[in-house]
Amino acid sequence: MAAAVHLGFFTHHWLPDLRRPLAVAMTAATAGTRVGFGVGAHRYRMPLAVSSVLIGFFPWVAENAATCAGAWSHPQQLGARRPVPPARFRAWSPLISVTFVLVEHLGTAGRDRRAGLPPVSDSFKTG
């Protein structure tokens, strides 16, 4: 699924756009998965889907601010200033989810390998 999400991110210009069904599939596959983060000395956890939406949202806001400031323009904005389409935001969120999953998997695999443990087939953390 991770490969399909990454491919969909790049190939939707030439092939049918499967990003929405892939986002739904990723959300279902990672339901119950939580990510941890810290602010100062406090540790917090939130659902992976919520973190993906938030992480996708902020680059979209930054893109809109940058285009309003004239830092750059996307092709659809050359004639007149328009907001960056929400499709950009929807594209980033599943990609961020897959990145979290891959980093967790690679981190777990490396940690296990250094500890001499056998590989784990499923590194999703739930609960």
Return d(Cα 119, Cα 123) in angstroms, integer: 10
Return d(Cα 116, Cα 16) in angstroms, integer: 44
Q: At CA 8, angle to CA 81 and CA 71, rounded to 5?
A: 25
Indicate the Cα dihedral angle 56, 5, 50, 125, nearest 10°. -140
pLDDT digits (tens, 9 = 90+) for 30-50: 888 888 888 888 889 998 888
pLDDT score for 110: 60
Strand ranges in 2-112 using DSSP code E only, listed in sequence order: 34-39, 42-47
Return d(Cα 67, Cα 75) in angstroms, integer: 11
95 closest CA partner among 127, 51, 64: 51
Q: Name the band, by pLDDT with cuts 50, 70 and 90, for residue 5.
A: confident
Q: Which two tokens stand for residue 109?
A: 């695999």
pLDDT score for 127: 46
Q: Which two tokens stand for residue 97?
A: 């989810």
pLDDT at residue 121 is higher than 60: no
pLDDT digits (tens, 9 = 90+) for 45-92: 998 888 888 888 888 888 889 888 878 777 777 777 778 888 777 777
Number of alpha carbons in the 13 Å side-chain half-sphere of residue 12: 15
